[in-house]
A and B are shown apart, each in its own frame.
Chain A
Amino acid sequence: MLNLVRPKIDIRRVSKTYASDHGPVPALRDTDLAVKEGEFVSIVGPSGCGKSTLVYIVGGFLAAEGEVVIDGEPITGPGTNRGVVFQEYALFPWLTVRDNIGYGLERQRVAVAEREKVISRLIGVIGLSGFEHRYPRELSGGMKQRVAIARTLACDPAILLLDEPFGALDAQTREIMQDELLRIWLENRKTVLLVTHDVTEAVYLSNRICVMSARPGQIIQQFAVELDRTRPREELVLSNAFNDLRNEVWLSVRRQALAAGQGTDAL
């Protein structure tokens, strides 16, 4: 059931300061963000603005001031309701493709027969039939990221946290992966929080785009994206609506990046 009243993810006044050799570095300051169930939200911003930090806090990997509430419950650490995909794939190098995808199911004591069914289906979905028994070192970057996504989807988390998932891929592979992600999302409508530095990617994939300010990060501007996702990529990307929005978001991010640059000059 879709719950339209209560947000799926509620980030309330979250602040985070890192300790460093040169004194404390504020990464996030009083960040608020509410994500509805089934919504695909992207966070864009200049590099080093704390957007990854925000995702790590929602993941429960980093402690921070303020609170993150999921389904009305404040989080206390990592949980299986939040699946994560990292830029660096983070596959277990000692497990084969098959065992990587089945890892979470095994930890959660899912019966073998059910496990096998899920693994086989996902291997088909990511198009890696014939590679089941390869180790991650024998795969290309794009294949690794597909396995990482499948591994996360296998456990069927309600929320997907994606931290620059396609940042390490070449431009062509990245587009293919975006299309796959969009297709998967259109099928199951999970709640997604995507961090990216690629404005086109954000416009192509999300319902809403949040632009973060330079460090210490705060969400300073939001854009609603109302595009028909079922249209083919070429048509969508070449449309005026797409490009107008892309330019607007790009300008907003650029202003923040320039502000960050001036900030460092002043120091």
Chain B
Amino acid sequence: MHFKRISVTAVRAFVRVGPLILIAALWQLVCGTGLVNREFLPAPVSVAIAFADLFSGGDIAKNLLITLYRAAAGLALGTICGVWIGLMMARSEKFRAYVTPIVGGTYSLPKSALIPLFALWFGIGNVTAIAAVFLACLLPMIVNTYHGVITTPKVLVWSAETLGTAKHELLAHVFLRNALPDIFTGLRIALGFSFVLAISAEMIASTNGIGKLIFMFGENGTYDYMFAAIACVVVVAFLADRAMLAVTRYSLRWHESAVSRLDERRA
């Protein structure tokens, strides 16, 4: 029985990484047969060698930290402002009337298109990257927070009031608590955007960061190193997403969705 469980876990793990291994094998095969020019598409093996080389040099760790700092700062600022604006929109009709057209107008705007403009305003480096990340994270946070607050059941607010909750306490004790599942939905979207925008900004307007590194390797034609740097970003972004999911699961353990997730894990 114990062994059975272990083998089930192993099979499940293999099913997960299986497709990735398959793609790598196909990739290697295509490169090996010479179907494509190896100059333009390096084989996975040479990417792995480049990866090892980058890591031993310490270059990648330094640039990765810079990128992470920019992504995290933009995400934090965007989250704080986004939650606040979403909350205000839901609670004040006047505020909503002013902000709705701005949110609607900028929602589908590709934020990366503004990076050259930001570079002009804020120069090359941290501020431009953080501003781009901030703007991209802001909108999903506003929209999701607004939805979470506006859908607060009236009976919860009324109950809170008869139990002695002052008007100014309602925000923290009822509205934000009710919006928490939506805020986490927004955070997960914003987290993805934060990596994309930090790296895009670095490619266009930065002297360092992993985006700049990817760009440089591409310019130089060292595609194995470029792929190694991209792989690095993929791994870090994946780990960040998993960490976010773990935090979400813990914070929303009271939520209805927690039940279905538990069942899913048991099944």
Which positions in A face B, CB cutoff 8 Å?
56, 59-61, 77-80, 82-84, 86, 88, 90, 92-96, 103-104, 107-108, 135-137, 151-152, 155, 157
Contact of A94 among B158, B165, B169, B180 (CB under 8 A): B180
Contacts of A96 in B (CB 8 A): 254
User: Taking CB as reference atom, which chain A residue is nearest B251?
Assistant: A94
Which positions in B face A, CB cutoff 8 Å?
153-156, 158-166, 169, 173-174, 177, 180, 253-256, 258-259
Contacts of B180 in A (CB 8 A): 94
Beyond A83-B163, A93-B256, A107-B164, 8 additional contacts (C-beta under 8 Å) are A77-B161, A82-B162, A84-B158, A90-B156, A94-B255, A107-B163, A135-B254, A155-B164
User: Taking CB as reference atom, which chain B residue is nearest A104?
Assistant: B163
Say yes or no: A86 contacts B163, CB within 8 Å.
no
Say yes or no: B256 contacts A137, CB within 8 Å.
yes
Cross-chain pair count, CB within 8 angstroms: 73
Contacts of A61 in B (CB 8 A): 154, 158, 161
Contacts of A60 in B (CB 8 A): 161
Q: Given contacts A137-B255, A137-B256, are A90 and B162 in contact (CB under 8 A)? A: no
Contacts of B164 in A (CB 8 A): 80, 104, 107-108, 155
> Could you tell me the dominant secondary structure of chain B's interface residues?
helix
Contacts of B165 in A (CB 8 A): 107
Most B CB within 10 A of own CB, among A60, A93, A135: A93
A2 to chain B, nearest CB (A): 24
User: Taking CB as reference atom, which chain A residue is nearest B259?
Assistant: A137
Between-chain CB contacts (< 8 Å), 17 pairs: A60-B161, A61-B158, A77-B161, A80-B162, A82-B162, A83-B162, A90-B159, A92-B159, A92-B174, A93-B255, A94-B180, A107-B164, A107-B173, A135-B253, A137-B255, A137-B258, A151-B163
A70 to chain B, nearest CB (A): 13
Contacts of A56 in B (CB 8 A): 158
A157 to B258, CA, bound (A): 34
Q: Given contacts A107-B169, A137-B256, are A155 and B158 in contact (CB under 8 A)? A: no
Say yes or no: B254 contacts A94, CB within 8 Å.
yes
Contacts of A90 in B (CB 8 A): 153, 155-156, 158-159
